[in-house]
């Protein structure tokens, strides 16, 4: 059975300016003697919404019994730039994770619901399981896409979910050449659309087939099982490890575990 080569490079894929906390966590947990390179390779570009009208319309329609859900720190920041969240209509507020709740709190609004089981749609749905949803409007503050599972499940519980786009996520230009691939690379992926952008670089490439094949043979760290299944559907064949949380420490621990498992032993096999 072929021995998996050691990981030589970890790629950080969050948008420009968003990788500092993850890089710090990776450096803090770096095993002694490890020379693996850390490299920023953003797979998403964040832009303002095409218009603030959807958010302004939602704010005008919000009622005290409604629930507002912020799906990420970015959603809080972009929405807050349109109208400070401390001035939003009264009502219950939920976040998809602790980092989002922290950013919301810093903006002047406390979250009523923060998941503890996992920092994703499933975790929030579990957190909201005791809240009566029949007839309740749920405003999901997000980018232009994403969180369909959250909306579908809330609708099945009787709620009226409504998406409110406050930013755009797009794939970056491809003029920088093909992304590095191969089993020596480990990509840390925290957004489903980033997976799509990475996979798109294989199908859109005019390079020889081995370039695309090499990228699909890369290893991935992802947040949850849904992301792993999505990666397999997109054709990724390398090792895919679950971090279980978008928190920088959880991602770093998962990444270094992959690196440690690939270190050669005295007999030439992986550890």
Output phi, psi for 138, to 5 deg: -125, 115
Q: State the residue range of the domain holding 215.
A: 9-44+173-261
**Largest alpha-carbon pair distance within the chain?**
68
Domains in the chain, number: 2
For residue range 108-160, what is the model confidence (pLDDT) as tens digits? 999 999 998 788 888 899 999 999 999 999 999 999 888 889 999 999 999 99
For residue range 15-60, what is the model confidence (pLDDT) as tens digits? 988 899 999 999 999 999 999 999 999 999 998 888 999 999 999 9
Q: Rg of the chain's alpha carbons, rounded to an integer?
A: 20
CATH of the domain at 26: 3.40.50.10090
The dihedral through the CA atoms of 17, 21, 23, 24 has a sign that is: positive
Residues 153 and 194 in one domain: no
Residues 147 and 194 in one domain: no
Residue 177 lies in a domain: yes
């Amino acid at each position: 059975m072929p021995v998996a080569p050691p990981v030589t490079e970890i790629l950080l894929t969050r948008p420009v300016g968003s990788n500092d906390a993850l890089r710090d966590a990776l450096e803090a947990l770096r095993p002694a003697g490890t020379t693996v390179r850390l490299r920023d390779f953003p797979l998403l570009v964040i832009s303002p919404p095409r218009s603030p009208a959807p958010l302004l319309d939602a704010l005008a329609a919000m009622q005290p019994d409604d629930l507002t859900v912020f799906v990420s720190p970015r959603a809080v920041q972009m929405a807050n730039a349109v109208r400070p969240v401390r001035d939003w209509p009264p009502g219950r507020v939920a976040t998809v994770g602790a980092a989002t709740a922290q950013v919301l709190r810093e903006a002047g609004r406390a979250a009523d619901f923060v998941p503890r089981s996992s920092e994703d749609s499933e975790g929030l749905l579990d957190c909201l399981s005791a809240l009566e949803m029949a007839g309740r409007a749920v405003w999901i503050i997000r980018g232009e896409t994403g969180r369909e599972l959250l909306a579908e499940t809330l609708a099945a519980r009787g709620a009226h979910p409504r998406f409110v786009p406050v930013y755009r996520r797009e794939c970056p230009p491809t003029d920088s050449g093909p992304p590095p691939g191969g089993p020596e690379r480990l990509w840390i992926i925290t957004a489903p659309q980033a997976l799509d952008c990475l996979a798109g670089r294989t199908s859109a490439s005019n390079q020889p087939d081995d370039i695309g094949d090499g990228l699909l043979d890369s290893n991935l760290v992802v947040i949850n099982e849904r992301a792993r299944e999505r990666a397999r559907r997109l054709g990724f064949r390398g090792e895919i490890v679950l971090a279980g949380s978008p928190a920088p420490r959880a991602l770093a621990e998962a990444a270094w575990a992959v690196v440690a498992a690939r270190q050669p032993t005295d007999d030439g096999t992986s550890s």
